[in-house]
Structure 1
Amino acid sequence: MQIDGETKIVAILGDPIAQAKSPQLFNALFERHAVGAVLIPLHVPSLRLGAVLDGLRNIVNLAGVVVTVPHKFAAAAHAADLSDSARQTGGVNCLRREADGTWSGGMFDGTGFVRGLLACGHSVRGKSVLLVGTGGAGTAVAHALVDAGAVSIDLYDADPGSLARVEDALRSRQSTTSIRRGVASAQSTHDLIVNATPCGMRAGDPSPIDLTGAAQQAVVADLIMKPEQTPLLNAAKASGLTVHPGRHLLECSVEAMAAFLRLMA
């Protein structure tokens, strides 16, 4: 990949950032389609996010930024305009720099997750889901599951405020999906079991969901990108369950995000 004075810059902001898979996937996409752009990782602590975004918006050849843990909700507050999905979830995972230096925000986690499931032959329509974690990605996934026709979603989060926020937002949509409070324990009625927490990212983390009661036909998904084989997925494999790693979400989001950044058609 050649980098010169005409190269468009994209940054991914996170804390931590070592787990990010976006640089490999985006840069491979840019090279494959001969796009004159490069994505670089930036480790940005939460208290410095505003200062970093204020600085980056002044860089004329910056196309935008990808946003990861834990900045998705906070970054949305810096956007002058939000896509429908970003407005719905209250968070962003992509900010596009406009010509006047303002940010426009988009959220692709939810649609990327559902597309990843479908690409692997796992339908969502009519299925019962356990979703553990209601942060930025979890919220986006919850809304996308409703859009995709899930019959029910059992929600759990250790933070009662976050749980109530997502529960209220989903119920206010008045969809046919049943929204219930659950526990971090799979039931035989769950067709899809999803970890949307960061538990499993660090060495020594336990499995965030008890799979003892899971049905044998259940699909167990984890949004964590690194490590690819998380404690949850290892426990699922040991129980003979179908696993769905986090990389599928990003792989099914990168082209849409590149288009949002106006780097591809």
Structure 2
Amino acid sequence: MKLWTNESDDMYKLPKLKDTAVKQAEQAFGVAFSKEYIDILNIQNGGSIVYNAFPSEWNDDSIYIDHIMGIGKEHGILENDYYLKEWDMPDGLILISGDGHSWIAFDYRNTKENPPIVYIDNESEQIFKLAPSFHDFLNKLYLDKDISFSEYEEVIVSKEELEEHIQKNDIESIIESIDIMSQDLTIDMSWFSKKLLELSKHSNDDVRTSVASATHYLIQIDELNKNEEIVKELCNNFKADSDSDINYYAEEIEKEIQG
């Protein structure tokens, strides 16, 4: 499912996620993040989401959620301790969405990994369990019937646009284009995989990291596996890279390929 709305002015969309940031955040909180949470953040590090409602079991109204926070300081989960103190919420919660009066959070109070997802109502001072895992939480999200997809801007990047960004060496636009195109399953994957291979040797670390992340995602959803030679070349480039985050993606890609 397409989760992120790709809004250009999204304040919750943080810079590209790096493996080092994940490890540092896990050490700071003393927990292990859910695999599914890291998977979606590797596509986009937080932001507004399309599926904006979650069914409630304790009242007739659904719970509305318009964003999921990524790993970062401003508008990210690293602001967690401040909000826990500000709203007098218990330790062990990692907030991923909310506005103060109510929050959705990972509940790590009784575990260090695979936490349930809870809803915190600060008005009634109650905490309700929403789902046993983040995986189940994502699967139950739905689009409210009063909101249509047409209200969101569907961002598409053409081949010509990416080529132009590469020619101008517009780093930010190259990275954004890779992220968007990796989610566009109507794209010419043979052409795109060759572009990924080309960009896997780019001089900019963030571009190469974006390529590695996109490759990992496309392998996970079985979109690149037909291009075995290119995948092999990409892996070799990632292994030989001087950036440890890119080396990490090489290991994860090989795990996916080997099953």
- What band does the TM-score fall into relative to the shorter chain? under 0.3
Structure number with bigger Rg: 2
TM-score, L = length of structure 1: 0.25
TM-score, L = length of structure 2: 0.26
